[in-house]
Amino acid sequence: MPAARVGHVATVLQGIGQNGYALQYPAVIGGSPDGSTPTDTVYIYHPDAQGWTLESRMIVNGESRPRTGRFAVGIIGNELYVCGGLGPGGVVDGSLVRATLIKTNTPPAPPVENPLVGNWENMQQSIPTWRTRVAYAQLGSKLYVIGGEDGTKDSIWRDSLTDVVEVYDMATNTWSTNETPMPVNFARGVAAVLRDAQGKEKIYVVGGRIDPEKRANWPYGPVEGSIDRVPPSGNVYVYDPVAKTWSTATPMPTPRAFAGHFVYQNRLHVVGGVMADPENPGREIVSPAHEVYDPVTNTWSTHPSGTPFGARQGAATALADHGPNGVWAYWFGGSTNTTQTANCARLNLSIPGSSWEQIPNLPVGGVSGARAITIVDGTDQIPAVFGGDFGPVACAYDKVFHYFSPFYGDPALANSWVADPLMEVPGEGKVVRSGFAIGQWQGYVYLAGGDAGPCDLVNRTIRGQILSSTVVKAPGIGQAKTVSDGTKVEITGEKVVTLSPIGEPGFFYMQDPDGTAGIRVETADMLPPLGATVLVSGRMGTASNGERVIREATVTIKGAGSTPVRNITQRDAGGAGYVGPDGQPLTLGTSTEGLLMRVAGKVTDVDFFEGAFWLDDGSAVDSGRPVKGIKVIRSETFPFVGQYLIVTGVVTSEVVDGKKIRVLRGREGQVPGDIQPVF
């Protein structure tokens, strides 16, 4: 709660959540901060955003009616009633007051302060094999997703292990299925990249539950829930990503599934998990084991620190280097034999013999199956926790939290949790996810696979932008484009608006007055008109098509201005990264992306359904279709094939079959002369 209270009353108010569905809002009414002074406040808790707001005050005809003590609260129809209790000076207040509940008036969510990850987007590249409870490991830009439960033998995903290995390249936004399957069916284990005795980087897959015979029918009981009857494994499988071959290594001493893990100094730490109960054959218990694997000597050892809180399974783990304060392992949530927990702990790996230390709990009731990753912001390394399961039926979370260590520079934030924006893709809704793979690459966190709860595998590959606290001032758009994704940027010079959509709110294009560079700007503010001069600040980002953008922008309209429209051949439109004549991305070329340009040519195709046509000036650029030419959209014009035109618009792109093709975005007929026939 935002303020201490005693003598208050809690109730539940019915309302409409951010997704439009019915939602219950816990409310705290009245009470006293010191045991004697009553208050008139009504605080509302937002389940969507994990935060409180001061929603109302008990004020009747301009007079405050504070209450504390044993007062009564009731709801009849759409009316909230408050009666009795103690008023100012400890005087009993016997009056009855009421307020009308407006269920459709969704309380505004508390603003997210100090966000670390946000701006979620669908990468439009589904994981080829839908599965959850996978192992995963990152090697460069490639995220290896290994094994998991794929549900191929029934509609319920908990009944089937898989041997599938697939790779998502975060740099190119592509999936590859050209990997050798595991020698066993596997799920619920861990994976990590380590260097072997020859210095080769290999992927070590440890523990979990396996079926060495890859049987179609389980011998462990009924089909549903059969994986829970498969004994935990201690096997270690080693994958060579270059040779694409599998081998085995020394087994883990304590066979376990659902363990936590991290890598420190090229050694794999496997912590906790679930193991066979030595005193009750056929049953399982949570494990207190903390064992360390050395790939150079191919040996295991026992770490003296053990597992935090005695024994846990299904926790999220991360490693953070806090410089002179040491390298620390972090443990977030997990579960016991009976319940999920919010307990968190850390271990100083830089000091031998250290023990796990408890840190503040996750700001949720309990979570398992979440994933954690450490995000670098300047000189700070900040662990963040994504998704997971909560509740007895394992419903998945859409929430993200990050933890500021006691060593963080701002004392007001040190040793505390902060909620990030929900994992929500605009236009698609919230992303609830558990048992997924997670990776980090060039300013973004990527999520692949997993489940949204029982019987509900998910296939979307999504990413969230890492939001840096650094602010960079850039006089020009070209300088802003050199700033890394997630960094706050302030454009100090006025720019000219070159495109302001009519039917698509939320973005516009602007460029330098001299036409040097242009960029897409995404904002919740009112869009400025064409020709306006603006000052813009926001966060740098890169769209899924590779185009640089300014996101979460604040826009100030200053006046009016002009900017040149340059003539360009279609071959020179775009620049490096766009598809070349050989079908491969160009490695050289001046970027014209985001600039207002004029092209000419012959219409080679028209697609009335898509609202586009293609124009070729003889450059014969690849269009991703049988015809050649640059694609023109949003021109509000449908010419005939064979017609010759001069067209003005903003250079942007689309990705077709993995190739970045040239697109000229028109201005929806707002500017006469943008489409000129050539007779």
What are the pLDDT digits (tens) for 107-116?
Answer: 555 556 778 9
Higher pLDDT, 86 or 337: 86
- With contact defined as beta carbons under 8 Å apart, do 17 and 23 qualify? yes
* pLDDT value of position 16: 67
* pLDDT value of position 455: 58
Q: Do 471-560 and 566-677 show the same overall fold? A: yes
As a whole number of angstroms, the distance between CA 458 and CA 431 comes to: 9
Within 8 A by CB and 6+ apart from 165, the residues are: 144, 145, 146, 147, 179, 180, 181, 182, 239
- With contact defined as beta carbons under 8 Å apart, do 415 and 359 qualify? yes
As a whole number of angstroms, the distance between CA 476 and CA 596 comes to: 16
Give the sign of the dihedral formed by CA 61, CA 66, CA 70, CA 72: positive
At 218, the pLDDT band (50, 70, 90 cuts) reads: low
For 28, the 3-state DSSP assignment is strand
Q: How big is the CA angle at 634 (ends 628 and 636), to the nearest 5 degrees?
A: 105
Q: What are phi and psi of 593, to 5 degrees?
A: -60, 130
Higher pLDDT, 410 or 271: 271
Q: Which fold has domain 117-466?
A: Neuraminidase (2.120.10)
What is the token pair recorded at 660?
Answer: 């970045």
- With contact defined as beta carbons under 8 Å apart, do 608 and 599 qualify? no
What HEC string does 184-199 produce? CEEECCEEEEEECCCC
Side by side, which strands form the sheet with 72-76?
Answer: 72-76, 79-83, 96-100
Structure letter (DSSP) for residue 642: T
- With contact defined as beta carbons under 8 Å apart, do 240 and 253 qualify? no
β-partners of residue 226 are none
Q: Which of 302, 267, 298 is nearest to 287 (CA)?
A: 302
Give the mean pLDDT of 8-29.
Answer: 77
* pLDDT value of position 111: 59
At 18, the pLDDT band (50, 70, 90 cuts) reads: low
User: pLDDT over 70 for what percent of the chain?
Assistant: 91
Q: Which amino acid is at 416?
A: S
Residue 22 has pLDDT above 80, yes or no: no
* pLDDT value of position 158: 52
β-partners of residue 290 are 271
Give the mean pLDDT of 175-184.
Answer: 97
Q: How many CB atoms are located within 10 Å of the residue 402 CB? A: 23
Architecture of domain 566-677: Beta Barrel (2.40)
**Ramachandran sector of residue 548 (left: φ over 0; alpha: ψ -120 to 50; beta: rest):** beta
Torsion of the alpha carbons at 606, 610, 611 and 613, rounded to the nearest 10: -30
Q: What is the mean pLDDT of the chain?
A: 89
At 679, the pLDDT band (50, 70, 90 cuts) reads: confident
Place of tokens 């979460």: 552
Cβ density class 551-564: b for 16+ within 10 Å, e for less: bbbebebeeeeebe
Residue 264 has pLDDT above 50, yes or no: yes
What is the token pair recorded at 635?
Answer: 């021109």
Q: How many CB atoms are located within 10 Å of the residue 398 CB? A: 18
Residue 432 has pLDDT above 90, yes or no: no
Q: Which of 425, 438, 663 is nearest to 547 (CA)?
A: 663
* pLDDT value of position 215: 67
Residue 48 has pLDDT above 70, yes or no: no
Q: How big is the CA angle at 331 (ends 352 and 252), to the nearest 5 degrees?
A: 70
β-partners of residue 659 are 656
Residue 166 has pLDDT above 80, yes or no: yes
* pLDDT value of position 346: 97
The string of pLDDT tens digits covering residues 318-364 is 999 999 999 999 999 988 877 788 899 999 999 999 999 999 998 87
- With contact defined as beta carbons under 8 Å apart, do 429 and 466 qualify? no
The string of pLDDT tens digits covering residues 604-618 is 999 999 999 999 999
Range 71-80, long-range pairs (CB < 8 A, 24+ positions) = 71/9, 71/30, 72/9, 73/9, 73/11, 73/29, 75/11, 75/13, 75/101, 78/102, 78/103, 80/11, 80/13
Give the mean pLDDT of 165-191.
Answer: 96
Q: What are phi and psi of 302, to 5 degrees?
A: -100, 130
* pLDDT value of position 377: 82
Cα within 13 Å of Cα(574), Cβ side: 29
What is the token pair recorded at 538?
Answer: 């926001």
- Which burial class, exposed, middle or buried, applies to 610 when counting CB atoms under 10 A from its CB (0-12, 13-18, 19+)? exposed
Residue 659 has pLDDT above 50, yes or no: yes
Class for the domain spanning 471-560: mainly beta
Structure letter (DSSP) for residue 457: B
Cβ density class 437-469: b for 16+ within 10 Å, e for less: bbbbbebbbbbbbbbbbeebbbebbbbbbbbbe
What is the token pair recorded at 586?
Answer: 């160009």
- With contact defined as beta carbons under 8 Å apart, do 271 and 290 qualify? yes
- With contact defined as beta carbons under 8 Å apart, do 449 and 166 qualify? no
The string of pLDDT tens digits covering residues 128-162 is 999 999 999 999 999 999 999 886 544 444 557 89
Q: What are phi and psi of 478, to 5 degrees?
A: -60, -40
As a whole number of angstroms, the distance between CA 673 and CA 84 comes to: 73
Structure letter (DSSP) for residue 290: E
Residue 279 has pLDDT above 60, yes or no: yes
Q: Which of 618, 597, 596, 614 is nearest to 605 (CA)?
A: 614
As a whole number of angstroms, the distance between CA 654 and CA 32 comes to: 59
For 208, the 3-state DSSP assignment is coil
Residue extents of the structural domains in the chain = 9-100, 117-466, 471-560, 566-677
Q: Which helix (H) or strand (E) holds 479?
A: helix 477-481
β-partners of residue 137 are 144
Strands (E), 241-289: 245-249, 260-264, 267-271, 274-276, 284-286
As a whole number of angstroms, the distance between CA 469 and CA 358 comes to: 27
* pLDDT value of position 616: 96
